Structure 1
């Protein structure tokens, strides 16, 4: 009788739980529907009765930005020009003339022309001030607007008017854009007969190959210690961070995990092969307050797995994963969909990244930042 009673209770308990979950989800969907209707009613009322005629595109974009501003800083709505950095990370290249730009007091200047790029081949130099892009005054544009006008499809022309310190008159350059491959390892070499050094600027699609080449060159020079400089490295692609750790950490060790609300957001990453760098080569990682995201994943895994030492300042504290969803050809939204956890299970993100009043399922996390 007891066994029969237990067999009866178990299906009832499962059925009750399933019904409860379905009711909860149904209630949530109903609330979402009501909120959407309210938003549409307010939106339509404003457009039909406001004293001035509003620009639908500009007003809608501003409204969406207002919505995302209530979330974490990394959930953003992006139009075509604003997607450039995402495209650079994912593709490792862009169409342009090969110039590193600086901007101060509405003055755009050339920090450095890239080797092999159209700008350097044409004679543009560090310190040149860009006055006009295709005849338009740079001072009348934002930095992003001006930079966007300089970029473009391979084979197209852009005209830059340059002011050079040693010249009285401006110089006009007509440049043909080409494909510019982004270089993420800005320096690698031997600091002493036994100590190698690698400076990594960002984690993009090109990063694993560049770091593999840099590590191999240092090992070929009999490096016994390697310093990995991640200071002011804002991060980038999770896959690139995992690939770099694969070159350092012994096979089958946990590297990082992500947790979110969807199945695809819940993943665990392990080292998959014998590392490039032998265990007897010592590792030191330099970080500071500008080291974020993928930089913190690499530093955190090396620290948690006792593979090396971490030196510098407390890092930035960005432990949130973003996924980009394309809306149409020119617009997309980047949404935070998961959290990063380093091998010890600690959460990298600084607390209070979103106001608690917007969250239904708030949980306490074991965070590095208290």
Structure 2
């Protein structure tokens, strides 16, 4: 879930985003108060939870905790070989994209037209191959040509070459071959070192003794100074069980330290959590929907079940989407079994598939849940946030009808307008380790 792209996070717009967030929050708070949703007089605790949520809302999203520099992707299994992703793109769908008019045709007419143009394309390849075979890479030219054809269908369909497809498999699988470190992304090319923010728990780097704050100055006898962060991290890549030698400077140690690390399988952590003790609120951040997201979130919720927290903050800011099935699984942690989360339709509006929760809820049912969003919250993240909010309102209406107090699910959305992408793409493996991404 062309290269799969995330909506760019522009630092220079943070001030505007924070201003918009304040306006949106005041609007949400005003509307909610008018409807009596917050029941402030009955539940003064909500005031503290709202204040805590707004503090997080006005802070930039926590970045860097999911940055993993690893190596080769494991061979895709049946689950990862054909993916259904709900991922953002560079621009939201506006409905105003101008396309050349095309009369409705039969399948036979379409095949005939494609055949004729394929002959023309073959002629182009033959002529350019004779004259310019030394100037171009056939692989890159074909990737661009096929991608251009697919983007005529819609902004989100496209063709993925080996590099992009491998990256998608890595992202959705949530596992990589590598040393398992989180590095400081703010490093400049002129810096003489690469700072380790944190070794990944249970990863190869942690097992050999690398620590947060260690400064890498050399990888396999190649100095870090003068090369980009991407180049530096690429030196950490390699095949499973191969050895990489890293030299680091550690505070308090006069001599340089050398570590030999065997590259291994590292699980990517797309989520993090902590308890805000002063308000007794549990905070969970989720940056991507991958195959292991459900286990991570489920474990985090179970871990704090006995802590008697009074509110939950689910931070979906800058979450660009990912596996649709992962979002449905996470919805199952909050909704009743058998709840319809979303339905996919084809271009004609015909229903293709209904996504229904299959597991039993794990999250506490009697505490308010505040979901933080921004304009980079997209696709699968929008589906999850929307589903939880809709069912919260449904449960509330049922409670009012029955004359009881609604405690099943209390969800409040705080933040700016989300990205706005409701389409889903199937990722279909092709030859040459490439893939077709089709809406």
TM-score normalised over the length of structure 2: 0.61
Matching residue within 329, 341, 346 for 1:255 = 341
Matching residue within 149, 154, 160 for 1:77 = 160
Deviation digits for residues 99-157 of structure 1 (CA, Å, limit 9, x no counterpart)? 11344433654332222322234343445554554345667876556544423333211
1:1-370 to 2 correspondences below 5 Å: 24-50=106-132, 52-64=134-146, 67=149, 72=155, 75-79=158-162, 81-103=163-185, 104-106=187-189, 108-128=194-214, 130-136=216-222, 146-162=232-248, 172-192=258-278, 194-260=280-346, 266-277=352-363, 279-305=365-391, 306=393, 307=409, 308-328=411-431, 331-337=433-439
Distance 1:263 1:115 in 2: 46
Deviation digits for residues 316-357 of structure 1 (CA, Å, limit 9, x no counterpart)? 2333322222223x62224132xxxxxxxxxxxxxxxxxxxx
Structure 1 residue 28: deviation in Å?
A: 1.6
Could you tell me whether the CA contact under 8 Å between 2:339 and 2:357 is conserved in 1? yes
Question: 275-284 vs 138-147, which deviates more?
Answer: 138-147
Aligned CA distance change for structure 1 residues 125 and 66 (closer, same or farther; 3 Å): farther
Could you tell me whether the CA contact under 8 Å between 2:342 and 2:355 is conserved in 1? yes
Deviation digits for residues 295-315 of structure 1 (CA, Å, limit 9, x no counterpart)? 111111112222511111222
Could you tell me whether the CA contact under 8 Å between 2:178 and 2:263 is conserved in 1? yes
Structure 1 residue 235: deviation in Å?
A: 2.1
Distance 1:237 1:264 in 2: 22
Distance 2:389 2:412 in 1: 6
Could you tell me whether the CA contact under 8 Å between 2:389 and 2:413 is conserved in 1? yes
Larger radius of gyration: 1
Deviation digits for residues 7-43 of structure 1 (CA, Å, limit 9, x no counterpart)? xxxxxxxxxxxxxxx9622112222222222222112
Distance 2:221 2:349 in 1: 51
Distance 1:43 1:269 in 2: 44
Q: Which has the higher contact order (CA 8 A, sep 6+)?
A: 2
The 3-state SS of whatever aligns with 1:111 is: strand
Could you tell me whether the CA contact under 8 Å between 1:196 and 1:225 is conserved in 2? yes
Distance 2:184 2:133 in 1: 42
Distance 1:119 1:296 in 2: 35
Structure 2 unmatched runs, 5+: 1-103, 394-408
Structure 1 residue 284: deviation in Å?
A: 1.5
Greater strand content: 1
Deviation digits for residues 241-299 of structure 1 (CA, Å, limit 9, x no counterpart)? 10111111223332012223699992111233542235433221111223222211111
Could you tell me whether the CA contact under 8 Å between 1:322 and 1:334 is conserved in 2? no
Structure 1 residue 175: deviation in Å?
A: 1.4
The 3-state SS of whatever aligns with 1:34 is: helix
Could you tell me whether the CA contact under 8 Å between 1:231 and 1:290 is conserved in 2? yes
Distance 1:40 1:110 in 2: 50
The 3-state SS of whatever aligns with 2:201 is: coil
Give the alignment's Cα RMSD to 1 decimal. 3.5
Question: 213-222 vs 132-141, which deviates more?
Answer: 132-141
Could you tell me whether the CA contact under 8 Å between 2:148 and 2:158 is conserved in 1? no
Distance 2:224 2:151 in 1: 29
Could you tell me whether the CA contact under 8 Å between 2:165 and 2:435 is conserved in 1? no
Structure 1 unmatched runs, 5+: 1-21, 338-370
Distance 1:138 1:259 in 2: 50
Deviation digits for residues 161-201 of structure 1 (CA, Å, limit 9, x no counterpart)? 54668889875432111221222321233545653222223
Distance 1:82 1:133 in 2: 25
Distance 1:137 1:262 in 2: 57
Could you tell me whether the CA contact under 8 Å between 1:186 and 1:201 is conserved in 2? no
Could you tell me whether the CA contact under 8 Å between 2:324 and 2:380 is conserved in 1? yes
Distance 1:154 1:122 in 2: 16
